[in-house]
Structure 1
């Protein structure tokens, strides 16, 4: 298989009114109020919502013990009546259970799974080891302030219609100036940079022929972004990419004014690490840990056009 023949993931049937869906917590625990809001939203779409038995467990900073979190997710994969899976929260812990997922069951009965951040570990496993498309989208631990009506409609459309998703570059995003001109087509994979870095040498699939989507949360410095991208480069994980899409990299405001950083900011780090790949880079996509997140199919064919400033992604459902 050459770089131009990377297979798109198998798409699950789209959700319909009356379908039964389940909320699970593969990572950190959600709040009861947030999940109640999520249940209300999903129910308003005509879905029948169930909550996994361990969603509100707590074991350290995770939503229950590893075996219980994995069991909830596997039960949702195995139950033929469950037609969609919504993760309750990211945080920490999904990386501990990806090797315990019943990917045979997931492949036998494809159903859309939604989440982001630490759930990027699950997305990568579904695509690399089960050949499935999934959805980088909001958690069921719903917040009207953080998500809002636009996010809700984007999620509903991505799950209940077969329309492509089109995202427009935003000039106000910090990654917009990192854009490298060109067009590219490939299967869109990726998500949270920390998660992708963590999978290096373990569960990270070949990225040849793909478009890599990257976003980053608050709480780490420029050096951590540099280390992550350098690790991916040194491991040759980025060899053969068709393109890169940059979402939100948050928390780096004012970094260029820190004298200890030599005048560098996040734009400098991203340019230094990514422009040498020699592929188109589309920065400024408003997706990640910021307010009002969109829903982005992963594991499906995507196109980036830097002149138009657009990312167009095929649906994750059929």
Structure 2
């Protein structure tokens, strides 16, 4: 069962790292300013601005920064500057021993999905939310929601869609970017999906690739024992239904049609200005009707639940 790290108070320290793709320095600094104005202290890891071709720094430099952040005794959060590609180059070399003595929120999404999974495997919830350089691009309301979450003010998620598959479920909430979910299969950061409520999002993929990835999850046995499926935003899709014959929603439903778990669509998280923070690893209840879906954090004093 997953514990949640301590929530943040005024003047608590957030360490910013760049464990994946090369960053936009100006955007990262703007994101850091938003956090500072919210009352947090910011420290940049030593190699964060060492761009190396497509990566935020050389592999050993990014590993060093991430290990430094995991080990830090005072920090209350680790904020990933961006996703892109690169976390899986270094993730298997991490040592989580000191993190468990001084747990902290790990924040990010997209490529950072693999790191959220590693935190889950080591017993802790993490925060699926905008990367730091994306924070200035969020609407003001969603910037506020992220800061509120870090401070312990947790919001439930709700969505509306005509594609829903009705039902009720409860369980631990895991997931992230669909591509990264597929890429974790048969690796050290592969998760057991049985009994879990899975959430997914994706960006800039053609419909045939989305179909192929859902099929891969199905063939790998990842869908058959789910408790529920939470579908976020699939943005900048490079094909439409007139080309492929199915929409994203229809592709998902077709691969899940033999199962009875609830499926809710159009949740406000993903690669867009409305990116709701999600507690990866938390216990939740999930209720889906014909048009509406609600995801609520449970509070029964269990160690893996949020207040």
2:280 aligned to 278, 281, 298, which one? 298
Q: Distance in 2 between matches of 1:16 and 1:238?
A: 39
> Contact 1:177–1:284 (CA<8 Å) still a contact in 2?
no
Q: Distance in 2 between matches of 1:283 and 1:102?
A: 37
Q: 1:192 to 1:181 in 2, by over 3 A?
A: same
CA deviation vs aligned residue, 1:212-237 (integer Å, no higher than 9, x gap): 0000111x211211111111111112
Alpha-carbon distance, 1:91 to partner: 0.6
Backbone CA RMSD of aligned residues: 1.8
Any unmatched runs of 5+ in structure 2?
Answer: 300-304
> Contact 1:165–1:314 (CA<8 Å) still a contact in 2?
no
Normalised by the size of structure 2, how large is the TM-score?
0.92
Alpha-carbon distance, 1:198 to partner: 0.2
> Contact 1:209–1:241 (CA<8 Å) still a contact in 2?
yes
Say which SS state the counterpart of residue 156 (structure 2) adopts.
Answer: strand
Partner of 1:274: 256
> Contact 1:287–1:294 (CA<8 Å) still a contact in 2?
yes
Partner of 1:211: 197
Partner of 1:3: none
Q: Would you say 1:131 and 2:123 are equivalent positions?
A: yes
Q: Distance in 2 between matches of 1:204 and 1:314?
A: 25
Q: 1:177 to 1:102 in 2, by over 3 A?
A: farther
Alpha-carbon distance, 1:209 to partner: 1.3
Q: How does 1:104-119 map to 2 (within 5 A)?
A: 104-119=97-112
Say which SS state the counterpart of residue 257 (structure 1) adopts.
Answer: helix
Alpha-carbon distance, 1:39 to partner: 1.5
Normalised by the size of structure 1, how large is the TM-score?
0.89
> Contact 1:200–1:237 (CA<8 Å) still a contact in 2?
no
Aligned residue-pair number: 299
Q: Would you say 1:103 and 2:96 are equivalent positions?
A: yes
Q: Would you say 1:149 and 2:140 are equivalent positions?
A: yes
Say which SS state the counterpart of residue 30 (structure 2) adopts.
Answer: helix
Q: 1:178 to 1:70 in 2, by over 3 A?
A: farther
Any unmatched runs of 5+ in structure 1?
Answer: 1-6, 171-175
Q: 1:77 to 1:254 in 2, by over 3 A?
A: closer
Q: How does 1:128-207 map to 2 (within 5 A)?
A: 128=121, 130-142=122-134, 144=136, 146-161=137-152, 163-170=153-160, 176-202=161-187, 203-207=189-193
